[in-house]
Structure 1
């Protein structure tokens, strides 16, 4: 008898008894053929050993989690065109091997996880996710905590995304080498058709479920080599005291250039700029930012000459992988950005397609003065600030940039954002609702000038949502993520829209990805993440995320609102009502009627359950009722 740690794969045919009743001989022959042509070759190819055949299923053990996952993915691909459908569960745990059989909790959990899986799907335990190669991280989608028969504690379960390139790439070459592989190749061809169909689909095509799935495939692609890179703000080594905005602008544009490469993940600008001036070991910075590599450097502008020094550091070891210096004229700044981005990508272990290099190297404007004004405008006002004067100053700079170059698309998009933000947040106290239309007009014009401007679609989505055109806002958000899969603001905006359209699991995935790309994100990110988890029914996770939000920002309105509903759903009414009291003190106009009009969960059944939860938390029915209650308390 030997006890050891092993990866266990459990497979079971869905509806086998029903098929046997309808056609016993045909079903038996089909299953035996599947074992011979699909299951057993896959197990053998990945080092697995079948220790039990259950008639309509199997149990197998593997020396590693990654081999078990590869085998499970290959098996499901083989069943893609098969009349029988399989459920697969994978677990990593202690087992006991004796006389050719395998027993223990590791086996039991694998079987229970398999029973939870969807037909044609693969569910895995949290132990599998923790032990899998890091480049598989985004191949898993959290399902949540599930109770299982004869298992004392709830299991944390994940689904394997079968449309991920990382899942396909490892087993496809081996399948091509086999003569008897029509079912496998049909499954691979189906995946290829999905990808081609997505790339050819216009962004204004039918508003269908498959569109969202394809966007998620792009926005969360897990590749064989998909490094995460953080670009720290370059040091300003120039003599002019006011040149910092130019150096910061250069850093931002390098980040934006890198973000266009879907072969890597790029940490958001706000997170990297938040660590400016903090003396820390590069390995510690990598841990805080969740980055495999850090780019750091300096820039010096003297007259029309620009010198940039940059280096790439691996955060795990602190090793310097590459460094380079560039001496250019200031009017070559766009070419400099392209060179930096291309070298960083290539030295991080990825590759750069020539078409992408050309796209990054395109000059957004022929006027360096207009570019300079846009950089000053970005520095003057950042989205999320409540400074109305700064917003107006930023708008004035953008208008001057457009006087110099009316075709500068990025300037038009930024200008549109100032109008929409002011109309939504009332920063200056002068904006009317009509200014949303002004902002939308600028965003649309920016897109006409530069059809692949991700920021244009992001601002268009923002304005359409503010106007109440949620369906079109969703379409614009999808396009923004297509064009820039590494922009956390676009991902978070899409997640918020997906909650409204009953795409809860997708919303959770996008919110989580946005937070990974922006580890020092504002509270808004945490609030949307918590709302998505609440909508998806992932109660424990929602409670943890919302508690995190309220710990750091006790009066954050969106977190208080969802927390109040969640506590009411859990029967913890005292906590629900305490949160509601704090929320009403922060937002006296809150009412069930206002939430009903806002439709944060769209027209789904969840919307009514949410409103009922707010009622149990003692939210007022109308704004008038809220005012009356407040007046009564005051007297």
Structure 2
């Protein structure tokens, strides 16, 4: 009688994707693939302390003493089998109890590993949440969640992760049997088409779309894709099913707006992204004086239709309240929202401030206008368009006014949090204000991003990353949020994830200067300065000569054997300041002095930047450009002064 053994082990299942069909089409090729796979497994598994317990057709069951051994082995197996001729191997790994004898292997752990392998991708490595917990702190083994699964004969839902090491296959998503749907139904509101005779009414159709989007965020059981992502399809004739996949949305809302004199006609349609069919459509003919009532009616009609379609959705009795009694003020507000959606220039920011001042003059109780005005003043202060202390004072005044008029306005709470962040450095108050915004609107992508940045500032890095990831999930095509997420990955030294995220942002906007700039800095953070130089040259060769003027170049020069060029950049800047050709920017001088190893002057100018409330000072602990100062006592004292932990 064979001995029965019980142990806790990491269990690996493998098989060749499409092997049965391969056998039917070309038996010789299928056998060659199987034999090659077995040779690789016979070599690599024992080399990583593993033991092959069973082989069956094209499949293999092996065990390892640790999850690390199993995952490292799996990655190397896939790298080897990606060489020509490629073998489409699937791998699933789980940690758990296993019982085996000479002739049999069984246990819950075996079943889970087998189920994970069955949903995996050829060329990829999929692992259970239990395995992920054991490898998540290993920078060389990054992974991304594929969702929660209810597997047959497994008592609990299992979250499955895909390894994302460079060279491994990672699907965008999995639609497999057993995958649990999100508790929230995801819906996206596409920009309504402007059917008015005047093309300048585009702001109005966009504004109506966004107001409906914002209203639907209040519906229990719905997750509404944020504006940046849903509006990225404006003017594009893409298949609704493809848009749904890109946004991760099960339903889409599209429509049109025709505005003529004091009359408006709005059409709206609800579309199933699974097959492109229409759930519902309606036409609304109303007077402009009833604009808020129309928005409420449309939003509620959509919510009630979704409520009948999905059991998790629960519509309230009311979604939209009148923001203002002055139609002219409201149209000014919509025009400002429209202008700010186009990567606004400094001049446009100042123009928006002037326009919003007119709106609140027309209606002194227009809370949304006050909130947007406060937010815009914060931006002008951070950008240095208005003296920061002046801009932040205005931001405080207008955000508090907005809150006094409507304490349930999430945008006002976020604007007030930004004022505190940049002017007061009272991080507890920052966190409290952003928390309030999220309580009022749990789907507020910018608030999730802001809360993540707050958590990072107070030293809660792991939770900070979760909020950055959530923000990007809510607004998946937002380049700004992808950049923020990638920057978080750089700070936690998850460079593979950072690179993948920067590249994702560049797919959306190949000309994004902030993405290109931060991507180059990522290589510097890794200590790969020649790669940074190569990437900068790639940008320049593509027409991006702007980057040659950036102080990043001084850091690269310093670390690629050309410190004299870093010194030239500092001397050139100081000469321009002396000649009055440019104003002395404390942040610029701090970075240039850092790159030239003059830490005393670097810290001196950072303190000046803090005195002047220059926005970037709240990032000093996280800026790659200032990594060289982290051990300097003066720098540590400044971090304490700002409240950074």
Fold similarity call, TM over 0.5: yes
- 1:406 is aligned to 2:364: yes
Distance 1:282 1:223, change over 3 A: closer
Q: State the match for 2:415 in structure 1.
A: 459
Name structure 2 gaps, 5 residues minimum. 1-53, 67-95, 152-156, 171-177, 538-545, 552-572, 574-587, 595-601, 608-615, 636-645
1:492 to 418, 439, 449: 449
State how far apart, in whole Å, the 1-side matches of 2:620 and 2:630 are.
18
State how far apart, in whole Å, the 1-side matches of 2:132 and 2:194 are.
56
Contact 2:129 2:161 in 1 (8 A): no
- 1:531 is aligned to 2:480: no
Distance 1:609 1:411, change over 3 A: closer
Contact 2:267 2:283 in 1 (8 A): yes
Name structure 1 gaps, 5 residues minimum. 13-48, 69-88, 96-105, 119-123, 147-152, 157-169, 171-221, 622-635
Q: CA deviation at 1:395?
A: 2.6
Q: CA deviation at 1:269?
A: 2.0
Contact 1:91 1:109 in 2 (8 A): no
Distance 1:383 1:408, change over 3 A: farther
- 1:397 is aligned to 2:361: no
- 1:542 is aligned to 2:498: yes
Contact 1:443 1:460 in 2 (8 A): yes
Q: State the match for 2:344 in structure 1.
A: 385
Q: State the match for 1:370 in structure 2.
A: 329
Q: State the match for 1:441 in structure 2.
A: 397
Q: CA deviation at 1:296?
A: 0.9
Q: State the match for 1:297 in structure 2.
A: 255
Q: State the match for 1:52 in structure 2.
A: 99
1:232 to 190, 196, 200: 190
State how far apart, in whole Å, the 2-side matches of 1:435 and 1:125 are.
42
State how far apart, in whole Å, the 1-side matches of 2:345 and 2:219 are.
33
SS of residue paired to 1:361 = coil
Distance 1:444 1:128, change over 3 A: closer
TM-superposition CA deviations, 1:190-219 (whole Å, max 9, x none): xxxxxxxxxxxxxxxxxxxxxxxxxxxxxx
TM-superposition CA deviations, 1:412-454 (whole Å, max 9, x none): 1112223222222244xx5553121111210111012111101
SS of residue paired to 1:365 = coil
Distance 1:108 1:560, change over 3 A: closer
TM-superposition CA deviations, 1:81-111 (whole Å, max 9, x none): xxxxxxxx9972379xxxxxxxxxx999769
1:469 to 405, 425, 447: 425
Q: CA RMSD in A?
A: 4.8
Alignment of 1:245-394 (within 5 A): 245-261=203-219, 263-348=221-306, 349-350=309-310, 353=314, 356-358=316-318, 360-382=319-341, 384-388=343-347, 390-394=348-352
Q: CA deviation at 1:364?
A: 1.8
Contact 1:560 1:583 in 2 (8 A): yes
State how far apart, in whole Å, the 2-side matches of 1:396 and 1:234 are.
27
Q: State the match for 2:379 in structure 1.
A: 421
SS of residue paired to 1:52 = strand
Q: State the match for 2:461 in structure 1.
A: 504
SS of residue paired to 1:260 = coil
Q: CA deviation at 1:318?
A: 0.7
Contact 1:293 1:314 in 2 (8 A): yes
SS of residue paired to 2:233 = coil
Q: State the match for 1:22 in structure 2.
A: none
Contact 2:126 2:161 in 1 (8 A): no
Distance 1:237 1:611, change over 3 A: closer
Q: CA deviation at 1:608?
A: 10
State how far apart, in whole Å, the 1-side matches of 2:266 and 2:294 are.
9
SS of residue paired to 2:322 = coil
Distance 1:316 1:517, change over 3 A: same
SS of residue paired to 1:309 = strand
Contact 1:141 1:509 in 2 (8 A): no
Distance 1:384 1:555, change over 3 A: closer
State how far apart, in whole Å, the 1-side matches of 2:129 and 2:274 are.
37
Distance 1:514 1:569, change over 3 A: closer
Q: CA deviation at 1:470?
A: 5.4
SS of residue paired to 2:293 = helix
Q: What is the TM-score with the length of structure 2 in the denominator?
A: 0.59
Contact 1:549 1:559 in 2 (8 A): no
Q: CA deviation at 1:310?
A: 0.8
Distance 1:455 1:94, change over 3 A: closer
State how far apart, in whole Å, the 1-side matches of 2:445 and 2:332 are.
25
Q: CA deviation at 1:526?
A: 2.6
State how far apart, in whole Å, the 1-side matches of 2:276 and 2:216 are.
21
2:117 to 80, 93, 97: 93
State how far apart, in whole Å, the 2-side matches of 1:404 and 1:554 are.
40
Q: CA deviation at 1:402?
A: 1.6
Q: State the match for 2:11 in structure 1.
A: none
TM-superposition CA deviations, 1:353-387 (whole Å, max 9, x none): 56x443x2322222233222211232344474114
State how far apart, in whole Å, the 1-side matches of 2:549 and 2:392 are.
29
Distance 1:549 1:563, change over 3 A: farther
Alignment of 1:80-159 (within 5 A): 92-93=116-117, 113=131, 116=134, 129=146, 132=149
Contact 2:142 2:497 in 1 (8 A): no
TM-superposition CA deviations, 1:317-362 (whole Å, max 9, x none): 11111112223332222122122222223333446656x443x232
TM-superposition CA deviations, 1:478-536 (whole Å, max 9, x none): 222222222222222222333222232333322233223333323x3232111111223
SS of residue paired to 2:249 = coil
Q: State the match for 2:5 in structure 1.
A: none
State how far apart, in whole Å, the 2-side matches of 1:107 and 1:579 are.
30
State how far apart, in whole Å, the 2-side matches of 1:277 and 1:501 are.
42
Distance 1:333 1:554, change over 3 A: closer
Alignment of 1:616-631 (within 5 A): none
Distance 1:230 1:558, change over 3 A: closer
State how far apart, in whole Å, the 1-side matches of 2:486 and 2:273 are.
30
- 1:516 is aligned to 2:480: no
TM-superposition CA deviations, 1:63-91 (whole Å, max 9, x none): 7xxxx6xxxxxxxxxxxxxxxxxxxx997
